[in-house]
């Protein structure tokens, strides 16, 4: 057994780096990879890392806390309201139904009733990570099954909170009694929650706003971490679970304009710590069990998969899904979930479940997760073609928070106009800006704005770039605009980019980087003013306008034509940008010098037949 | 085989029913050029050389549009004013369009009975199309009997409109099939 923290850390990190690519290649997903490597490296395997209660496992619990915080921050009351049907209806019935079925099975096989409740609840949860990832990989995220899976999984995530609260009540002899009468305890908890919400509104948000104004990234990140840890500590003091505290902290910040930035800042931490968490859970799996009791494990796993899948399928039909969609829904959710490990650990600690039984269930849940991607893939490949009626239409889509037509990055002078134009025509947009003061002003005038650095891919992702088809780039910073264009084209090729360009050279760079359209910010307005001058010089209004408009059209065409020659990076290395600009002006003036510059509408000439 | 060019002019396609289905029927035909004027020139800056080139490359020129105030939507007037230039379409040397055929394919709100001397609109459709007919004639083109879909406001969406679209399609096919 190695106790040296450094060595442990190295082993964990090596495991993460080595395992994930392999397990992804095998189609198993990262989570399973972590579990397996934990099992292999842990006490029942190679014995390289400590199982259970080591320093590493405390750190890894932070991963769960982060995950719950980030869940909380995603749960805005408005979103919940829109999804209330599938969320509480389908989700609620799924959790309740599964709990009852497996609870009954547990009682039938000899468990005491409180234990059976715990088992039922534990097995009702499915694996958010695996389901959403697998469906996304096969392209089914937006299918009816995919969308309802999301709703049910979201409900399950929420349901964990009351489950965590209920578990201590199931323990024999109330192991976690804080020594206070129940009603006092309840009041204290309520007080803590109110304190949290109040400080959230009057302390935390203004604090974050100040930090945002200062534009200090690390301080912002530190503040987010501090928030999570502090609220967690507060909640544990009053006897609640740390997970609940983290969840509530997240909810407090859910509707704030900093949501995306916080999510982006914490995401890497969460990812790492969750990985740690799964490895340490895996190291707690006793490999001897599946080997020594194969029949028990196999029967639990098959019950879990078949019964749960069937229940969800049935619920899907009750909620009027087409047979094929309900089938995929059932297959997608037919496994145990990550939270089962958390709950099983707590159950074992509190004496609700005996150690060996907890181990048995842990192994079974892990196995069910291992086969889940295969089950889903098989359902898609073999089940759907059989069940789909010819030319069947899709069942009606869920109403979600997906009604953003475009993601607009940059809400200064340029971006504002675009957002207002879109809004005037009934299109909602998600807006991102990295200037705290701008965000403030916009928020006061009623725009839904998020604070975040659009140059960071994870911020764009958090702001939902995968859900929109259009990105409007209206930022000041020229280099960032080009970088963002390149990275979005690479990572989200379905997104069309409409970019604001500083000048011709910048427009070339953007077009060459893959923007669908790059409009020079001065082009239109300069022509407008120029047309007014023509008018002043004696042209009629129509003539002034048309000449301006034709000139602009000609200009744009030239820009598109010259794009391949200019703005490419190799040339930029050798030719200074300012030189490029003056070269270009010369070219244009030369082209226009020779022929008549005025656009002619000969049809309006008076002719002999007029 | 004749080459058919359709100029489509509807300023509010999202509100159209009949014209939209007619357009779909036309778009579905092979070797028919479907040219949406408002879509191509939302700013009315008609590319005259390009339009003239299109005309030269086809044998039958169709104009499909709703009958607005006994005439065409404004972009069609703009098109006629700018594209049929002196020296190209008419006047000395202006015989580039000679012999081509011109078809007006329109939809009206009122019933056929209204388009009559004794009727509500006091003139027949053919009479109301006189300026356009004369335009075609001046360009030495053959003005064909117009395709008219009457009473569009009253039509049943599921039954009668597809029938009109089908009739339109037949007309286009027949034009296509004839010799240039």
Minimal C-alpha gap between A524 and chain B (Å): 14
CB spacing of B48 vs A602 below 8 angstroms: yes
Contact list, A601 vs chain B (CB under 8 Å)? 48, 82
Place of tokens 């003036």: A589
Interface A-B: count of C-beta contacts within 8 A: 28
Nearest to A406 by CA among A468, A462, A492: A468
How high is the pLDDT of residue A394? 34
Give mean pLDDT, residues A333-355.
Answer: 83
Q: Which of B115, B119, B157, B177 is catalytic?
A: B115
How high is the pLDDT of residue A527? 92
Question: Other CB atoms closer than 10 Å to residue A588's CB: what's the count?
Answer: 16
How high is the pLDDT of residue A23? 77
Instruction: Give one DSSP letter per residue of chain B, joined into a string.
Output: ---EEEEE--TTGGG-SHHHHHHHHHHTSTTEEEEEHHHH-TT----HHHHHHHHHT-SEEEEEEE-BTTB--HHHHHHHHHHS-BTTTBSTT--TTTT-EEEEEEE-SS-GGGSSTTSTTSS-HHHHTHHHHHHHHHTT-EEPPPEEE--TTT--TTTHHHHHHHHHHHHHHHHHHS--
The backbone torsions φ and ψ at residue A450, rounded to the nearest 5 degrees and listed phi first, read -115, 145
Q: Residues 6 or more apart from A530 whose CB is under 8 A from it? A: A548, A551
By the 8 A CB rule, do A246 and A205 touch? Answer: no
CB spacing of A602 vs B85 below 8 angstroms: yes
Q: Residues 6 or more apart from A18 whose CB is under 8 A from it? A: A37
Q: Is the pLDDT of residue A386 over 50?
A: yes
Q: Which of B86, B91, B109, B157 is catalytic?
A: B109
Q: Is the pLDDT of residue A182 over 60?
A: no
Q: Of A363 and B136, which is predicted with more confidence?
A: B136
**A12-48: pLDDT as tens digits:** 888 888 887 887 777 666 767 777 788 788 776 777 7
ipTM, two decimals, is: 0.76
Minimal C-alpha gap between B120 and chain A (Å): 32
Give mean pLDDT, residues A283-297.
Answer: 77
Residue of B nearest to A609 (CA): B91
Is residue A261 very low, low, confident or very high in pLDDT (cuts 50, 70, 90)?
confident
**B73-87: pLDDT as tens digits:** 999 999 999 999 999
By the 8 A CB rule, do B7 and B63 touch? Answer: yes
Lowest model confidence (mean pLDDT) among A204-213, A254-263, A434-443, A493-502: A434-443
The backbone torsions φ and ψ at residue A214, rounded to the nearest 5 degrees and listed phi first, read -75, -15
Q: Does A183 touch chain B (CB under 8 A)?
A: no
Q: Does A603 touch chain B (CB under 8 A)?
A: yes
Contact list, A608 vs chain B (CB under 8 Å)? 86, 91
Q: Is the pLDDT of residue A490 over 60?
A: yes
How high is the pLDDT of residue A537? 93
- What sign for the dihedral angle of Cα A17, A23, A25, A28? negative
Contact list, A604 vs chain B (CB under 8 Å)? 81-82
Residue of B nearest to A606 (CA): B86
How high is the pLDDT of residue A585? 74
How high is the pLDDT of residue A609? 47
By the 8 A CB rule, do A409 and A488 touch? Answer: no
Strand, coil or helix: A407 = strand
% of chain A exceeding 90 in pLDDT: 16
Give mean pLDDT, residues A318-325.
Answer: 85
Q: Residues 6 or more apart from A600 whose CB is under 8 A from it? A: none
As a whole number of Å, the CA-based R_g of chain A is: 30
Nearest to A325 by CA among A333, A336, A317: A317
Q: Residues 6 or more apart from A459 whose CB is under 8 A from it? A: A260, A261, A264, A432, A452, A453
As a whole number of Å, the CA-based R_g of chain B is: 16
Instruction: Compute the residue count for chain A.
Output: 610
Lowest model confidence (mean pLDDT) among A57-61, A256-260, B40-44: A57-61
Q: Of A423 and B22, which is predicted with more confidence?
A: B22
What is the spatial distance between Cα B133 and Cα B145, in angstroms, rounded to a whole number? 10
Give mean pLDDT, residues A603-608.
Answer: 66
Write out A326-376 in H/E/C secondary structure: HHHHHHHHCCCCHHHHHHHHHHHHCCCCCHHHHHHHHHHHHHHHHHHHHHH
In this structure, what is the dihedral angle of CA atoms A29, A31, A32, A37, given to the nearest 10 degrees? Answer: 120
Q: Is the pLDDT of residue B4 over 50?
A: yes
Half-sphere exposure of A264 (CA within 13 A, CB side): 24
Strand, coil or helix: A391 = coil
Q: Is the pLDDT of residue A175 over 60?
A: no
Residues of chain B whose beta carbon is less than 8 angstroms from a beta carbon of chain A are 43, 45, 48, 81-86, 90-91, 138
**A310-319: pLDDT as tens digits:** 999 999 989 8
Nearest to A75 by CA among A87, A61, A64: A87
Q: Is the pLDDT of residue A104 over 70?
A: yes
Mean pLDDT over the full length of chain A:
78
Give mean pLDDT, residues A383-396.
Answer: 54
Q: Is the pLDDT of residue B61 over 90?
A: yes
Place of tokens 């300023």: B11
Give mean pLDDT, residues A305-325.
Answer: 89
Rounded to 10 deg, the angle between the A504-513 and A478-491 helix axes is 20
In degrees, rounded to 5, the angle at the alpha carbon of residue A226 between the alpha carbons of residues A222 and A227 is: 120
- Neighbour-count burial for B43-78, b at 16+ CB within 10 Å, e otherwise: eebbebeebbebbeebbbbbbbbbbbeeebbebbeb
Q: Is the pLDDT of residue A390 over 50?
A: no
How high is the pLDDT of residue A290? 74
Q: Is the pLDDT of residue A167 over 70?
A: yes
For the record, the structure tokens of B73 come out as 């939507």
Is residue B156 very low, low, confident or very high in pLDDT (cuts 50, 70, 90)?
low
Lowest model confidence (mean pLDDT) among A401-405, A487-491, A522-526, A559-563: A401-405
What is the spatial distance between Cα A307 and Cα B12, in angstroms, rounded to a whole number? 55
Q: Best residue in A554, A603, A607, A609 to probe B by mutation, most B CBs within 10 Å?
A: A603
For the record, the structure tokens of A15 come out as 């495991």
Nearest to A432 by CA among A414, A469, A413, A459: A459
Q: Of A362 and A445, which is predicted with more confidence?
A: A362
Is residue A54 very low, low, confident or very high in pLDDT (cuts 50, 70, 90)?
low
């Amino acid at each position: 057994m190695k106790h040296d923290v450094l060595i442990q850390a190295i082993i964990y990190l090596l495991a993460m780096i080595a395992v994930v690519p392999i397990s992804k290649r095998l189609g198993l997903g990262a989570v399973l990879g972590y579990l397996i490597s934990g099992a292999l490296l842990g006490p029942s395997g190679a014995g390289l890392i400590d199982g259970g209660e080591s320093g590493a496992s405390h750190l890894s619990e932070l991963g769960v806390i982060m995950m719950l915080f980030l869940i909380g921050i995603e749960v805005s009351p408005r979103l919940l309201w829109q999804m209330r049907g599938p969320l509480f209806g389908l989700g609620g019935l799924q959790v309740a139904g599964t709990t009852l079925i497996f609870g009954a099975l547990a009682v039938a096989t000899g468990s005491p009733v409180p234990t059976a409740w715990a088992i039922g609840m534990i097995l009702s949860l499915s694996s958010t990570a695996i389901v959403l990832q697998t469906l996304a990989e096969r392209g089914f995220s937006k299918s009816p099954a995919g969308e309802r899976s999301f709703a049910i999984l979201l409900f399950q995530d929420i349901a964990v909170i009351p489950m965590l609260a209920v578990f201590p009540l199931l323990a024999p002899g109330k192991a976690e009694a804080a020594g206070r009468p129940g009603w006092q305890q309840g009041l204290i908890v309520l007080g803590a929650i109110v304190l949290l919400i109040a400080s959230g509104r009057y302390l935390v948000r203004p604090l974050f706003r100040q930090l945002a104004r200062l534009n200090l990234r690390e301080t912002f990140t530190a503040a987010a971490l501090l928030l999570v840890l502090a609220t967690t500590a507060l909640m544990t003091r009053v006897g609640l679970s740390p997970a609940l505290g983290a969840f509530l902290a997240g909810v407090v910040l859910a509707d704030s304009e900093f949501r995306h930035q916080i999510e982006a800042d914490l995401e890497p931490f969460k990812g790492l710590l969750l990985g740690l968490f799964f490895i340490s859970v895996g190291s707690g799996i006793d490999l001897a069990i599946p080997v020594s009791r194969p029949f028990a494990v196999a029967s639990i796993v098959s019950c879990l998969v078949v019964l749960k899948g069937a229940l969800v399928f049935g619920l899907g039909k009750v909620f009027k899904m087409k047979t094929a969609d309900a089938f995929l829904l059932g297959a997608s959710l037919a496994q145990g979930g990550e939270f089962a490990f958390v709950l099983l650990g707590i159950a074992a600690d509190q004496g609700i479940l005996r150690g060996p039984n907890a181990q048995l269930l842990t192994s079974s849940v892990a196995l069910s997760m291992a086969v889940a991607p295969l089950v889903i893939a098989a359902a898609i490949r073999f089940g759907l073609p059989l069940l789909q009626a010819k030319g069947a239409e899709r069942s009606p889509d869920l109403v979600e928070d997906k009604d953003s037509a475009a993601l607009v990055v940059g809400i200064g002078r340029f971006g504002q106009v675009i957002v207002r134009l879109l809004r005037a025509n009934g299109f909602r947009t998600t807006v991102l800006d990295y200037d705290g003061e701008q965000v403030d002003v916009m928020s006061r005038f009623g725009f839904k704005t998020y604070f975040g650095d659009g140059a960071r891919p994870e911020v764009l992702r958090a702001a939902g770039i995968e859900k929109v088809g259009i990105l409007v780039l209206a930022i000041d910073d020229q280099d960032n605009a080009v970088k963002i264009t390149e990275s979005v084209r690479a990572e989200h090729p379905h997104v069309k980019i409409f970019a604001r360009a500083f000048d011709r050279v910048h427009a070339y760079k953007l077009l060459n980087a893959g923007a669908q359209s790059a409009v020079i910010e001065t082009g239109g307005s300069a022509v407008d003013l120029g047309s007014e001058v023509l008018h002043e010089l004696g042209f009629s209004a129509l003539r002034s306008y048309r000449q301006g408009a034709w000139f602009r059209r000609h200009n744009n065409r030239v820009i598109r034509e010259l794009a391949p020659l200019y703005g490419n990076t190799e040339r930029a290395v050798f030719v200074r940008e300012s030189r490029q600009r003056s070269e270009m002006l010369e070219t244009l003036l030369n082209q226009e010098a020779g022929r008549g510059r005025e656009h002619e509408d000969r049809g309006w000439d008076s002719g002999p037949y007029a | 085989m004749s080459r058919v060019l359709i100029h489509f002019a509807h300023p509010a396609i999202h509100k159209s029913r009949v014209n939209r289905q007619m357009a779909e029927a036309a778009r579905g035909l092979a070797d028919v050029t479907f040219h949406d004027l408002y879509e191509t020139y939302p700013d009315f800056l008609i590319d005259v050389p390009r339009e003239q080139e299109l005309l030269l490359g086809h044998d039958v020129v169709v104009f499909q549009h709703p009958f607005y105030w006994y005439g065409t939507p404004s972009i069609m007037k703009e098109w006629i004013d700018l594209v049929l230039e002196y020296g190209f379409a008419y006047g000395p040397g202006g015989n580039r369009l000679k012999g081509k055929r011109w078809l007006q394919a329109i939809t009206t709100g009122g019933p056929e009975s209204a388009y009559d001397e004794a009727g509500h609109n006091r003139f027949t459709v053919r009479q109301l199309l006189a300026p356009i007919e004369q335009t075609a004639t001046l360009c030495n083109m053959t003005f064909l009997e117009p395709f008219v879909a009457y009473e569009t406001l009253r039509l049943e969406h599921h039954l009668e409109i597809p029938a009109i679209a089908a009739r339109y399609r037949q007309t286009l096919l027949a034009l296509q099939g004839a010799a240039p």
